[in-house]
Amino acid sequence: MTDLSSFPIAQRWPAIHPDRLQLYSWPTPNGVKVSIMLEELGLPYEAHAVHIGQNQTWTPEFLSLNPNGKIPAIIDPHGPGGKPLALFESGAILLYLAEKTGRFLPADPLRRYETIQWLFFQMAAIGPMFGQVGFFHKFAGREFEDKRPLERYRVESRRLLEVLERRLEAREWIMDDYSIADIATLGWVRNLIGFYGARDLVAFDTLKHVPAWLERGLARPAVQRGLTIPAA
């Protein structure tokens, strides 16, 4: 049986099945990227709920795995060379799992890097900008008298949606086939118009291809399961 005792995080969130991949997460747009990916792959894994509302990511045990104090993070007991691998950053985890399994990332080098660029587009643009809309539209920022920050992020989020709209004009998925680019992006678009309540703010219903893509993605059984893991 795999011994995870060298990882301090396993002391606070002990593994019942240490031979399985360990996921430390919370069902946020970043967190569900990995749970959706794991559900799509069918890999055996064990999910541990790291409650961000209780600041559990800032505990010494979690920081030992991710010094940046953010979910998600994983330990793969069967990493490269058969050695355990600890990994944080959702985009890096998606790349790792795709390469580990040979799925949801094209083998052809040209298409592989094209997929990675769209993954980075989500990481660098969609996530940060949509998150700012959430802060200024739904959370503490909505109380600010100065509405210029909200307008700035609203305009940029709409522009990013239009980039996706053009990309999806002639295809069902961000790449021709469903990939880690879709897995990374679905939860953020869903969150923007749902949990953040910004559907009208960004005029989402004036788009055609992005809503259809989102509907296709959310209809996937693995996506439906992954959106609820770990249970909040």
Instruction: Report how many domains make up the chain.
Output: 2
- The predicted structure's pLDDT at residue 166: 98
Rounded distance between C-alpha atoms, residue 36 and residue 55, angstroms: 24
**pLDDT higher than threshold 90 for residue 2:** no
Query: pLDDT above 90 covers what percent of the chain?
Result: 98
Listed in sequence order, the residues at least 6 apart from 116 whose beta carbon sits closer than 8 Å to its beta carbon are 95, 105
What's residue 5's pLDDT? 86
Tens of pLDDT, residue by residue over 182-192, are: 999 999 999 99
Count other C-beta atoms under 10 Å from residue 12's C-beta.
Answer: 15
CA distances from 121 to 46, 83, 162, 209, 221 (A): 29, 31, 13, 18, 25
Q: What's at 222, amino acid-wise?
A: A
Is 205 part of a structural domain of the chain?
A: yes
pLDDT digits (tens, 9 = 90+) for 200-222: 999 999 999 999 999 999 999 99
210 with 148, same domain? yes
pTM: 0.96
For residue 50, what are its two tokens?
A: 């790291």
Same domain, 31 and 119: no
137 and 196 Cβ atoms separated by less than 8 Å: yes
CB 77 within 8 A of CB 84: yes
Beta 45-49 vs 85-88: how paired, if at all? unpaired
pLDDT reading at 1 higher than 70: no
Report the pLDDT value the prediction gives residue 125, as an integer from 0 to 100: 98
Instruction: Pick the last residue of a domain from 66, 84, 103.
Output: 103
pLDDT digits 0-9 by tens, 19-41: 999 999 999 999 999 999 999 99
Phi, psi angles (nearest 5°) of residue 76:
-100, 110
Q: What is the pLDDT of residues 61-110, one digit of tens each?
A: 999 999 999 999 999 999 999 999 999 999 999 999 999 999 999 999 99
pLDDT value at 147 more than 80: yes
Q: What is the CB neighbour count within 10 angstroms for residue 89?
A: 16
Does 232 score more than 90 pLDDT? no
Last residue of a domain, one of 73, 103, 133: 103
pLDDT at 104: 98
Among 53, 87, 103, the domain boundary falls at 103
In this structure, is residue 232 part of a structural domain?
no
> Strand, coil or helix: what is 159?
helix
* Model confidence pLDDT, tens digit, residues 120-142: 999 999 999 999 999 999 999 99
Tell me if 63 is assigned to some domain.
yes
Q: What is the average pLDDT score of the chain?
A: 97
- For residue 173, pLDDT over 90 is answered with yes
Domain that holds residue 134: 109-224
Q: 49 and 137 in one domain?
A: no
Whether residues 116 and 219 fall in one domain: yes
